[in-house]
Amino acid sequence: MKKTFPLSIEGKHRDRVVDAVKHEIRKYVRRERRRALPEGVDFWDFECKFGPSEVAAERVHFATITACINAAVQENATQLYIEIVARPGVRKARLSP
């Protein structure tokens, strides 16, 4: 998913727009995780970019997307660019102490 979300939509409360953005992200992630895993793959990993525009977007960890959205809203951003790409992931063995 590569999308720019406007946060200032006429006739809609800003908080509801932000909730809709978060819901759309969660819906996309749920849909991607339901896809069948290729052979030899343990899970779907997500590469994410976040920023005010596509040009200014920076890599962020998937777990911090919601915090990034909240921070941008606090700074009165007018739009958000979010890129989330699903990649196959393989678990690494832990070293026991």
pLDDT, tens only, 65-89: 999 999 999 999 999 999 999 999 9
Q: What is the pTM of this model?
A: 0.86
If one counts the domains in the chain, the total is: 1
- Dump the DSSP string for 8-39: --TTS-HHHHHHHHHHHHHHHHHHHHHSPPPT
Residue 95 resides in a domain: no
- Looking at per-residue confidence, does 96 or 29 come out higher? 29
What angle (nearest 5°) sits at the alpha carbon of residue 30, between those of residues 29 and 36?
100
Dump pLDDT digits (tens) for 8-27. Answer: 999 999 999 999 999 999 99
Residues 4, 56 contacting (CB under 8 angstroms): no
Whole-Å CA distances, 64 to 41, 59, 61, 69, 89:
24, 11, 6, 9, 19
pLDDT surpassing 90 at residue 49: yes
**pLDDT in the model for residue 94:** 82
Residue 56 resides in a domain: yes
Domain with 56, as residue range(s), is 2-89
Residue 94 resides in a domain: no
Percent of the chain with pLDDT over 70: 100
Residue 45 resides in a domain: yes
**pLDDT in the model for residue 97:** 72
pLDDT surpassing 80 at residue 52: yes
pLDDT surpassing 80 at residue 92: yes
Joined together, the tokens standing for residue 19 give 């909730």
Determine the Cα–Cα distance for residues 2 and 9; give it in Å rounded to an integer: 20
Q: Going by C-beta distance under 8 Å and a sequence separation of 6 or more, which residues neighbour residue 60?
A: 48, 49, 50, 68
